[in-house]
Structure formats: structure tokens, C-alpha cells
Chains A and B, each alone.
Chain A
Amino acid sequence: MKLSYRLKIGLIIILIASFFLVLNLTPFGKEIKNFFYLISSPIQKIFWKTGNKISDFFEVIFRIKDLKRENEELKLKIQTLEAENVTISELKKENEILREALEIGLEKEFGLQLAQVIGKDVSQDLILINKGLKDGILEGFPVISQQKLLIGKISEVYKDFSKVLLISNPKSSFDAKIADSDIFGVVKGKGNLKILFDFIPQEKEIKEGDLVVTSVLGGIFPQGLLVGKINEVTKSDLKPFQKAQIQPVFNIGNLEKLFIITEW
């Protein structure tokens, strides 16, 4: 009786083992799995969709606190990224300006320092830039735009900032000439962004549209920098010299980045 019981157990174990072996080592196992997947797939789809919907619903409820925190974090991140974006676009602009300057060949002619305009006082024809003593800026250094237009000269230097006296400032006066000619004169600021070309000899013929550039005579500015265009000529037989209004070629509203000439 005892033996037959053991035999029974042994037989059952052998049967189960052979059952598993047959299922796993022959393609029959795959067939069985395939059959069950086939008949279960419609039910599984329903379960899957329902589970997905329900878990989404509960996830929203359980994660409200997290979502709030995440939202705040993301907002903060957006702000940081926006700030970074602004910095990047500033750098891009600066890069473009430098590239333009390189193409013109400014860097070959002069030693340059790029500066950013941080304040404008149009009524006094002054601008404030972000370079100062720390950057090696000294009083009297000429300031130009990337297109080689004369803007003015450094009038006051602070540790980190400098004031630029625009050429239209009444305190500004320097020698200039009509481009491609030997007509010399003195450019004087008249204030309010107006410039006068004075002391032009009577016998010299100048006309509207002539370009005025800096001359080597004064030594204040390097020669050949564009000052502006002759706008209106005033000639009087009673006076030994003729005068002309110069229209500045730069637009003060658009000035953002400037070059300070440190060597010429």
C-alpha cells in the first residue's frame, strides 16, 4: 500500500515533468500561448483601455500637489530660459556686429573695444557706455559705429563706464574735410543732434550731399571717419568763410553697440 502510494506520487511527478518538457521544448507551447492570446486580445484591449483611463484619472487627483510644484518649477525654468535667451540674442547681436566690423576691416586699422550703450541723454548730446578705466578706456578716445561712422569721443571716464560726447554736442569741435577733395573746415556741434561745418574757404565749391570725413589735421580723430552729409550750404559774401549744415549719418535711437578706438 505504502509502495503503491509512492509509485503514484512518482508517476504524478514524472507526468508533470514530461508535460512541462513537452510544452516548453516543442512548438506546442507556443501554439497554446498563441491560442490564449488570440481569444484574450479583445478582453485585454478593453481592460487595457479601462485601466489606462482609471489610472489617468487617479493620477491627476493624486498628483495635484506634485503638478502644482512642477508647474511652479517649470515657470521658474521658463523665466531662467527666457533670461538666457535674452543673453544669447544679445551675444548674437554682438557677434553680428563684430563680424560686420571684421568684414569692413576695422580691426586692421584700429585697436578697438566693443561697448554697449546703456544710457542716452539726447538733450545734452551725451551717451553712457559700459566700458571704463578698467577696460583701458581713456578720455579723448574716439567712438565709432561698426559702419565706421564717427559718433563722438570719450569725455569722462569712470571705473566701469564712460560718457561719450557726441559730435553734435556744442563742446565738440574738430577738423574735417569733404571726402575726395582738399576742402577743409571745422566741424562744430550745435546741440540737439545738429552739426555745423564751419570755416570753409569762400572760393571752395561744396554742394548738398557731399560727404564729410575726419581729416588728419586736428589729430583728435583718425582720418577718414564718416561724419555726415552736407545738408544745407550758407554762403555770404560779407563773411570770409562759408558754413554748411551736416546731417549726421547715425541715428541716435538705433545706437546700441559702439566701438571705442584705443589705438590708431
Chain B
Amino acid sequence: MVKKIFFLILLFYFLTLLQTSFFLHFPFRHLLNLVLIIVVLINLFEARKEKLGLFSAFFGGFFLDIFSENFIGFWILILLAISIFIKLILKKHVRIPVISRV
């Protein structure tokens, strides 16, 4: 778990750097939020009992806040809300045997 979290921190750090310095030069810069996409994907595809989605939301949001002009917590709250929302929806309304087995 610690390894996974460490990997997540590194991943979101580089994703945020890419987003704020590399993709800024492209015309789709306003549409692309890599951190958000990865957080949503992790939350969608992780096992239900796993908490990695929440950690990813926290660290992704933290790095986005660091490299943006918003107050610290802006993106953390948004991403945490999104990941909790996804988890709730998956828990209450979605039944996929393949995913539940994972």
C-alpha cells in the first residue's frame, strides 16, 4: 500500500508538471485535465474495498493546488468529492461481477 501511494504521489507530481508546463503549448490545454482523468479512472476501476482512489484524489488535488493559483484545498475537495461520488454510485447502483471479483 505504501509503495502504491508513493507511486501515486510521483505519478500525480509528473502529471501536474506535464499539465502545467508541457500541454500548455497545445490548443487543447483548456480541455485537458490529466489528473482529473486519472483520478476518475482509478476510482472507476479499483476494487470496491480499496482506498487508493481517495488517496489519488487527495494527492492529485494537492499537486493541482500547488501548481495553480487557487487556494490549497480547492482541487483536493473537488477531486475527493468526485471520487466519493463515484464510489457511492458504484456501491449502490452498479453490479458488475468481473469488477467485484477483482
Query: Interface-forming stretch among A32-40, A156-164, A213-221?
Result: A32-40
Q: Is B26 an interface residue (CB 8 A)?
A: yes
Given contacts A20-B72, A20-B73, contact A51 B26 (CB under 8 A): yes
Interface contact A47-B18, CB-CB below 8 Å: yes
B contact residues, total (Cβ < 8 Å): 18
Q: Closest approach, in angstroms, between the C-beta of A136 and any C-beta of chain B?
A: 63
> A43: CB under 8 A from chain B?
yes
CB distance from A171 to the nearest CB of B (A): 76
CB <8 Å contact, B25 and A44: no
| Distance between Cα atoms of A23 and B65 in the complex (Å) | 11
Q: Known contacts A36-B67, A55-B26; decide if A48 and B21 are in contact (CB<8 Å).
A: yes
Residues of B contacting A: mostly? helix
Interfacial chain B residues near A55, Cβ < 8 Å: 25-26
Taking the complex as formed, is A4 at the interface, i.e. its CB lies under 8 A from any CB of chain B? no
Q: Which residues of B contact A181 (CB under 8 A)?
A: none
- By the criterion CB–CB under 8 Å, are B25 and A54 in contact? yes
- With contacts A32-B66, A36-B67, A40-B17 taken as known, whether A47 is within 8 angstroms of B73 at the C-beta atoms is no
Residue of A nearest to B58 (CB): A16
CB distance from B57 to the nearest CB of A (A): 12
Does B23 sit within 8 A of A, measured CB to CB? Answer: yes
User: Is B6 part of the contact surface with A, judged by Cβ < 8 Å?
Assistant: no
Say whether A47 contacts B17, CB under 8 Å. yes
Q: Which residue of A lies closest to B66 (CB)?
A: A36
**CB–CB B72/A24 < 8 A:** yes
Residues of B within 8 A of A85 (CB): none
Taking CB atoms, residues of chain A closer than 8 Å to B72 are 20, 23-24, 29, 32-33
Which of A19, A29, A40, A51 is close to B25, meaning CB atoms less than 8 Å apart? Answer: A51
CB distance from B76 to the nearest CB of A (A): 8
B67 and A48 within 8 A (CB): no
Q: A251 on the interface (CB 8 Å rule)?
A: no
Q: Is the CB of A47 within 8 A of B22?
A: yes
CB distance from A27 to the nearest CB of B (A): 13
Determine the distance from Cα of A56 to Cα of B25 in the docked complex, in whole angstroms: 8
Q: Which residues of B contact A (CB under 8 A)?
A: 13-14, 17-18, 20-26, 63, 66-67, 71-73, 76
Name 10 interchain pairs, CB-CB below 8 A, sorted by A: A20-B73, A23-B73, A33-B66, A36-B66, A44-B20, A45-B21, A48-B24, A48-B25, A50-B22, A51-B21
Question: Considering the complex of A and B, which 4 residue pairs feature the smallest CB-CB distances, nearest first?
Answer: A55-B25, A20-B73, A51-B22, A47-B21
Besides the known contacts A36-B63, A44-B17, 13 further A-B residue pairs in the complex with CB atoms under 8 A apart: A19-B73, A20-B71, A20-B76, A24-B73, A29-B72, A32-B66, A32-B72, A33-B66, A36-B66, A43-B17, A47-B21, A51-B24, A51-B25
